[in-house]
Amino acid sequence: MSAIIPTVKLHLNKRETTFGVPLYITAVVALVSILISLVFWRSGSQPGTTGWIEGSQANPGILYALVGFLAYLGVQSVATTFPFALTLGATRRAFTGGTLLWAAIASAYLTAVFAVLTMVEIATEHWFVGFYIFDVYVLGAGDLTRLIPIVFLGALTIFTIGGVFGASWVRFGARGPQLIAVVLAVAIVLTLIILIPYAASIFAAFQLWWLAVAAVVAITLSSTGTWLLLRPAVVR
Amino acid sequence: MTNAITIRSATRTYGRTRALDDVTFAVPEHSICGLLGRNGAGKTTIMSIIAGQDRESSGRVEVLGHTPFEHAATLSQISFVRDNQRYPDDYRLHHVLRIAPDFAPNWSAEVAGELVAAFRIPSKTQIKKLSRGQLSSVGIVLGLASRAPVTLLDEPYLGLDVTARGLFHQALIRDVESQPRTVLLSTHLIEESASLFDRVVIMDRGRVVVDSDSDDARQLAFVMSGTTDAVDRLVAGRPVLRRQRIGGLASVTVEGGADDGIRAQAAARGVQLAAASLQELVAAHGESEPEIVQEKAGVRA
């Protein structure tokens, strides 16, 4: 009897946290974006002009606002749920698999919400008044073929990175996340040291799919790391 | 009789700390076994290993014929709620009652409902804000309503009032009679729980010091009380587990049974003999070395 599906249900047990809170955050950011747009409007900028459109589409707020919450959700999906999952009878293997599946479901949900809202925004010519909330560069500038992988892989990456930090806390206590942070920082600096002479040519050759590959690598490494950290972890 | 839990020479070390040291005992199927001992004796550690939440460093632990660690089929047959059980953020009672049946194939919503009502567990309060006794009640609901063939209860009484403890006893006895299962229960309220136990395992410093049928455990030690001089003469050469002295009086817990010879000598010297209660046996084994303990009261009459 595998506990993968029960583990998914365990994560979805607090439905509002998975499905409701991201919507609330999105709504608040949308409201703030509208208020900011109103400030620009009142200060003389005109909706529909080139400057207005470029300025509005450069606003990454809708994405940044969610990152913190998704990271928290990823951390708590392991750190505070794992001990209870063990109590209920889940194996570590099933817990890791179920947590990844839940993260994929939550990411797909967010992707669907963003895709629908983007389509509505475009269909209403930006909410009838030229406000740009979802049709922004960081979400693919209204191109669903870009928005879908950006939101899905982005959310899943954040969930799984949060999860591996949570797992390191379960395994090593406060030293775990510190250790991962230090290792990551050193890895990034070493990568920069190696690649910085070639930065210009790398930027010139850059392709968007590189980010997708990087996200898949991060998701794979984080999920594997979570499993490796949880397997010997002792809950006390 | 088939054993539901079999532990052979299990040792668990954490760095330099040896939490379990060559632990061996078995719990027969459909019995209630008391796991007793001082704080730090290793009770929670062995329960954690039995529940597959930890793994022995050496030795072997089998539950229902399998090593429980990462064995899904076995883990679905075990219920283990810790005394300091952690719950996900913002959990309330309904979250627990909603998810538990997905993991426990024998879950009884009827038993859960009865216990929640009897313990008067608040439904709207976050679990992390419940009192110690209410938290224990949630653990008891999880432990009993799961009707797991192997149920491990770690200090289920913590913070419970006397009424709630009585309710727990009644619920445990009634439900185990209707749905037989193997129960391993650790507690410090020994006298109150003693009547529940078919077997007792007493641990001290990570080792099993008593593994016995509950009735036989009462024959494992006796207590001599009287004047210090008379008691000292009688215990000479016998294995003393615990010695207490106040003024000219002494009370000594001696390992083994009291034979007719010592009964006659005790009567002649005015020393009283009594079988050690389970609580006295646990307390005696919990003292690291036999030594004289000065107390203001407590010498047996």
- Closest chain B C-alpha to A164 CA, distance in angstroms: 17
**A90 to chain B: which residues are within 8 Å by CB?**
75, 103
pLDDT band at B111 (very low <50, low <70, confident <90, very high): very high
Q: Give chain A's contact residues with B (Cβ, < 8 Å).
A: 1-3, 5-6, 9-10, 13-14, 17, 76, 80-81, 83-84, 86-94, 234-235
- CA-to-CA distance for A35 and A81, rounded, in angstroms? 38
The residue of chain A with its CA nearest to that of B105 is A1
- CA-to-CA distance for B109 and B80, rounded, in angstroms? 18
- Name residue A6's amino acid: P
- Closest chain A C-alpha to B75 CA, distance in angstroms: 5
Which residues neighbour B57 within 8 Å (Cβ) at sequence distance 6 or greater?
A: B11, B12, B13
The residue of chain A with its CA nearest to that of B89 is A80
Evaluate if pTM is beyond 0.90: no
Q: Mutate which of B43, B53, B150 to disrupt the A interface (most A C-beta within 10 Å)?
A: B53
Query: Measured between CB atoms, which of B76, B81, B86 is closest to A1?
Result: B76
Tokens of A106: 């939550």
- CA-to-CA distance for B117 and B111, rounded, in angstroms? 10
- CA-to-CA distance for A83 and A95, rounded, in angstroms? 10
Q: Mutate which of A91, A96, A172, A228 to disrupt the B interface (most B C-beta within 10 Å)?
A: A91
Tokens of A94: 């099933």
Q: What is the pLDDT of residue A110?
A: 95
**Residue B295 pLDDT greater than 60, yes or no:** no
* B150, B71 Cβ separation under 8 angstroms: no
- Closest chain B C-alpha to A83 CA, distance in angstroms: 6
**Residue B152 pLDDT greater than 90, yes or no:** yes
A55 burial type by CB count under 10 A (0-12 exposed, 13-18 middle, 19+ buried): middle
**Residue B234 pLDDT greater than 90, yes or no:** no
- Dihedral sign (CA A220, A222, A225, A230): negative
Share of chain B above pLDDT 90, in %: 67
Q: Give chain B's contact residues with A (Cβ, < 8 Å).
A: 14, 48, 51-54, 70-73, 75-76, 78-82, 85-91, 95, 98-100, 102-105, 142
- How distant is the alpha carbon of residue B18 from its chain centre? 20
- CA-to-CA distance for B44 and B156, rounded, in angstroms? 12
| B185 φ, ψ (degrees, to nearest 5) | -125, 125
- How distant is the alpha carbon of residue B17 from its chain centre? 22
Query: Measured between CB atoms, which of A13, A86, A94 is closest to B72?
Result: A94
Please choose, from the candidates B175, B208, B195, the residue with its C-alpha nearest in 3D space to the C-alpha of residue B7: B208
Is A13 close to B75, i.e. CB distance below 8 A?
no
Which residues neighbour B295 within 8 Å (Cβ) at sequence distance 6 or greater?
A: B244, B246
Q: What is the pLDDT of residue B28?
A: 96
B294 burial type by CB count under 10 A (0-12 exposed, 13-18 middle, 19+ buried): exposed
DSSP three-state, residue B13: strand
* B182, B78 Cβ separation under 8 angstroms: no
**A80 to chain B: which residues are within 8 Å by CB?**
86-89
- Closest chain A C-alpha to B164 CA, distance in angstroms: 23
DSSP summary character for residue A126: I
Please choose, from the candidates A24, A222, A19, A3, the residue with its C-alpha nearest in 3D space to the C-alpha of residue A93: A3
- Closest chain B C-alpha to A80 CA, distance in angstroms: 5
Which residues neighbour B218 within 8 Å (Cβ) at sequence distance 6 or greater?
A: B275, B276, B277, B278
**Residue B293 pLDDT greater than 70, yes or no:** no
Provide the β-strand partners of residue B255: B221
* B228, B248 Cβ separation under 8 angstroms: yes
Q: What is the pLDDT of residue B288?
A: 55
Q: What is the pLDDT of residue B260?
A: 86
Query: Measured between CB atoms, which of B54, B71, B81 is closest to A87?
Result: B81
**Residue B289 pLDDT greater than 80, yes or no:** no
Count A/B contacts: CB-CB distance under 8 Å: 80
DSSP three-state, residue B60: strand
Tokens of B88: 């996900």
Is A10 close to B102, i.e. CB distance below 8 A?
yes
The residue of chain B with its CA nearest to that of A95 is B70
Tokens of A198: 């070639």
**Residue B261 pLDDT greater than 90, yes or no:** no
Q: What is the pLDDT of residue B291?
A: 46
DSSP three-state, residue B37: strand
DSSP summary character for residue B69: T
Please choose, from the candidates B221, B235, B297, the residue with its C-alpha nearest in 3D space to the C-alpha of residue B266: B235
Mean pLDDT of B252-281: 88
Q: What is the pLDDT of residue B300?
A: 37
- Torsional class of B229: left (φ above 0), alpha (ψ -120 to 50), beta (otherwise): alpha
Alpha helix ranges (H) inside chain A: 4-12, 15, 21-42, 50-57, 61-79, 82-88, 92-123, 144-172, 175-195, 199-205, 209-230
* Between B78 and A3, the higher pLDDT residue: B78
| B128 φ, ψ (degrees, to nearest 5) | -70, -15
Query: Measured between CB atoms, which of B52, B89, B98 is closest to A80?
Result: B89
Query: Measured between CB atoms, which of A6, A93, A234 is closest to B103?
Result: A6
Query: Measured between CB atoms, which of B72, B79, B91 is closest to A91?
Result: B72
**A3 to chain B: which residues are within 8 Å by CB?**
72, 75-76, 103
Q: What is the pLDDT of residue B294?
A: 42
- CA-to-CA distance for B240 and A233, rounded, in angstroms? 41
Q: How far apart are the first and last CA of chain A?
A: 26
- CA-to-CA distance for A148 and A138, rounded, in angstroms? 12
**Residue B259 pLDDT greater than 90, yes or no:** no
| A85 φ, ψ (degrees, to nearest 5) | -60, -40
Is A92 close to B70, i.e. CB distance below 8 A?
yes
A207 burial type by CB count under 10 A (0-12 exposed, 13-18 middle, 19+ buried): exposed
A12 burial type by CB count under 10 A (0-12 exposed, 13-18 middle, 19+ buried): middle
**B53 to chain A: which residues are within 8 Å by CB?**
86-87, 234-235
Mean pLDDT of chain B: 90
DSSP summary character for residue B9: E
Q: What is the pLDDT of residue B301?
A: 31
DSSP summary character for residue B244: E
Q: What is the pLDDT of residue A1?
A: 59
One digit per residue, the tens of pLDDT, for chain A of length 236 reads: 588 999 999 999 999 999 999 999 999 988 888 888 888 888 888 888 888 888 888 888 888 888 999 999 999 999 999 999 999 999 999 999 999 999 999 999 999 999 999 999 999 988 888 888 899 998 988 899 999 999 999 999 999 999 999 999 999 998 999 999 999 999 999 999 999 999 999 989 998 899 999 999 999 999 999 999 999 998 87
Query: Measured between CB atoms, which of B76, B91, B98 is closest to A89?
Result: B76
Please choose, from the candidates B30, B2, B27, B31, the residue with its C-alpha nearest in 3D space to the C-alpha of residue B197: B31
Q: Mutate which of B99, B106, B127 to disrupt the A interface (most A C-beta within 10 Å)?
A: B99
Mean pLDDT of B23-31: 96
